Amino acid sequence: MAKIILKGHKGIGGTAEGEALVSKNALSYIFDVGGIWHDPMSAKVTNKKEMPDWYGKDLAGKVLVFPTGRGGIFSTAMLMGLAKKGLGPKAMINVKTHPVFAYASIVLDLPTVDGLDKNPCEVIETGDWVKVDARRGVVEVTKKKA
């Protein structure tokens, strides 16, 4: 299986691995993750206009790869709320992490990295298996297509 290594600086949290979910768009947990309002609650993306590539996808348990965060302070509370209910992501990989997301990651000890030597949104594809070692700032990508 083809493997790609991305290197950056020390991130937040420890290590995690899982299936990648990649978006070219910036993410807001309040503007995009309407599953929060459903019963039972989910981390499902409902914003077709702003997040067409993640529309209908469930963000729970995935390694989220997206350029950055967007839209206000609310994502901290939303991300924390979902994570405490077991619906948070396994890790986050950004071009540049939005501070509102970074502080949530610090409190949750959620593996998070940015500033990698290649654009993760171009190198990683949805379905790739990704190992994140935030302590070393290293991401190992196993491509789903050999």
CA distance 18 to 81: 21
Contact (Cβ atoms closer than 8 angstroms) between residue 62 and residue 90: yes
Instruction: Give the ranges where the chain is alpha helix by DSSP (H).
Output: 74-84, 99-108, 120-123
CB of 1 to other proteins, least distance (A): 29
Based on CB atoms, which residue is closest to other proteins, 33 or 138?
33
Nearer to other proteins, 76 or 130 (CB): 76
Rounded to a whole number of angstroms, the minimum distance from the CB of residue 7 to other proteins is 10
Q: Distance between CA 71 and CA 68 in Å, rounded?
A: 10
| Minimum CB distance to other proteins smaller for 3 or for 10 | 10
- d(CA 29, CA 46) in angstroms, rounded, equals 10
Binding residues (CB under 8 A) for other proteins: these are 9-12, 24-26, 28, 30-34, 36-37, 41, 46-47, 49-50, 67-78, 80-84, 95-100, 102-104, 106-107, 112, 114-115
Closer residue to other proteins (CB): 2 or 5: 5
Instruction: Choose between 79 and 130: whose C-beta lies nearer to other proteins.
Output: 79
* Nearby residues of 95 by Cβ (< 8 Å), 6 or more positions away: 67, 68, 114, 119, 120, 121
Residue with tokens 């939303």: 78
Which secondary structure element, helix H or strand E, spans residue 12, and what is its range? none
